[in-house]
Amino acid sequence: MSSTPFAALAAGWRTAGAAVLFLAALVAGCGGSVGVGGTGSYASGPIEGFGSIFVGGIEFDDSSATVVDDDGIERTRSALRLGQSTEIDSEAIVGTDDAPTAVATRIRMIAELVGLASQIDTSAGTLVVFGQTVLVVDGATAFDPSFVNGLASVADGAAVEVSGFYDAAANRYVATLIAPRSGPLTAYQVRGPVQDLDTTARTFRIGAALFAYDGAQPLLDDGAYLRVRAQTVPVGGRWVVTEVASGARELPDLDRVKLRGAITSFVSSTEFSVNGQPVDARAARRIGQPGELALGKPVVVDGSAVDGVLVARTVRLDERGGGADQGSITLAGAIQSVDAPGRSFVLRDTTVYYGGNGVQFEGGTEAQLATGRAVTVRGVVAGQSARVNARRISFD
């Protein structure tokens, strides 16, 4: 493999315990391995649509893909949700710059947080999960359909999982999906960078949570991006660690890698990490104004993987990562049911509202919306709800 100065940085992070980087897995602890190096592709980020599956602006044919959860346990495609954090191993990305496509071989679902919901504030759009403040952003945060009224449907003490990004600058998580977690929780989970490691007291922090650990924990080091599980009852104000695993993965050499996430460590605009994945942006085309990149900022990085480092071709701020003016959600398929008086229909198990101002129809009219009709919807997640507000409806 070729060598870059960032290879030394990546090696240092691996020694620090951030090895087996982003979203895939220790074979035992996180379940599974990566796809074939060199010719394959990899994308990670929240699910942006269904028809196939859309992640990072790429449409993946998921018809033959294996779907696994955070522990590598096989699941069905019906478990996938809008906004859910994922990693996708695929064949080469083809198509055009405006419409890239690929055949997915493996889809792994990710949870940044698992725990009980508390301190729910619908006015502020916040809640606390496993000691972490979680921000709900209108237009950016999706909810499982069982939470029909969004955050207002989440009961205090409900077991939930949160997909999203850790905002290291604000010390909080920005949710892209909040979903219920079935069954009694045997452990809580958080994914993020280690802070304030005290090897004498045997404590450390991730976000706002203070952890205590026993025994050898070779992955622990300040700045290491980890997945930590702990007992559900704190002792002396500290969460007792039951498992430590890498929260990010070391990528094999790959022709194409696309990450959508937040900057979790920042040295400069050319040297930073996204969700624990080291990025070399020295030769990248940066889209936006100089000085915009900073710790905690949501970004989209496109490039290739060399020696475990994402060598970026382009880096841009991700407007969809925050703020009300979000990018498009894509839903494609046959309409399952229509509520004409309510000006909505169900597509891909998602309620789509088409009564807003300025909705465009292509190849048909509102009157032609009917059960079984094939359409493609471009829209945005509706604030504080489980529905999508359509901006454009195309008849296929």
What are the DSSP calls for 239-250, one per residue? EEEEEEEESB-P
What's the N-to-C CA distance of the chain in angstroms? 45
What pLDDT is attached to residue 2?
Answer: 38
CB 284 within 8 A of CB 312: yes
* Chain position carrying tokens 């952890």: 211
Is 244 contained in some domain? no
Is 276 contained in some domain? no
What pLDDT is attached to residue 384?
Answer: 66
> For the CA atoms of the chain, what is the radius of gyration?
21
54 φψ region: left (φ > 0), alpha (ψ -120 to 50), beta (else): beta
What pLDDT is attached to residue 269?
Answer: 93
What pLDDT is attached to residue 287?
Answer: 83
Is 378 contained in some domain? yes
Is 367 contained in some domain? yes
**What are the tens digits of pLDDT across the range 174-194?**
999 999 998 789 999 999 999
What pLDDT is attached to residue 375?
Answer: 97
CA–CA distances in Å: residue 392 to residues 62, 121, 212, 327, 359 = 24, 32, 51, 13, 6
β-pair partners for 304: 311
Is 55 contained in some domain? no
Is 362 contained in some domain? yes
Say which amino acid occupies 200: T
What pLDDT is attached to residue 96?
Answer: 87
Is 346 contained in some domain? yes
Residue 223: burial class (beta carbons within 10 Å; 0-12, 13-18, 19+): middle
**What are the tens digits of pLDDT across the range 217-241?**
999 999 999 999 999 999 999 999 9
C-alpha count within 13 angstroms, C-beta hemisphere, residue 149: 5
Can you tell me whether residue 201 is helix, strand or coil? Answer: coil
Q: What is the CATH number of the domain that holds 354?
A: 2.40.50.320
Q: What are phi and psi of 77, to 5 degrees?
A: -65, -20
Opening angle at CA 44, ends 318 and 395, nearest 5:
75
CA 390 from centroid of its chain's CA atoms: 22
Opening angle at CA 77, ends 74 and 78, nearest 5:
115
The DSSP call for residue 69 is -
Is 337 contained in some domain? yes
CA distance 387 to 287: 31
Say which amino acid occupies 155: A
Q: How many domains does the chain have?
A: 1
β-pair partners for 22: 248
Can you tell me whether residue 88 is helix, strand or coil? Answer: strand
Structural domain of 357: 329-395
CB 189 within 8 A of CB 182: no
Please list the pLDDT of the chain residue by residue as tens digits (396 residues): 333 444 444 444 333 333 222 222 222 223 222 333 346 899 999 999 998 999 988 999 999 999 999 999 999 998 999 999 999 999 999 988 888 999 999 999 999 999 999 999 999 999 999 999 999 988 889 999 899 889 999 999 999 999 999 999 999 999 999 999 987 899 999 999 999 999 999 999 999 999 999 988 999 999 999 999 999 999 999 999 999 999 998 889 999 999 999 999 999 999 999 999 999 999 999 887 777 899 999 999 999 999 999 999 999 988 654 333 334 789 999 999 999 999 999 999 899 999 988 899 999 999 999 999 999 999 988 876 778 999 999 999
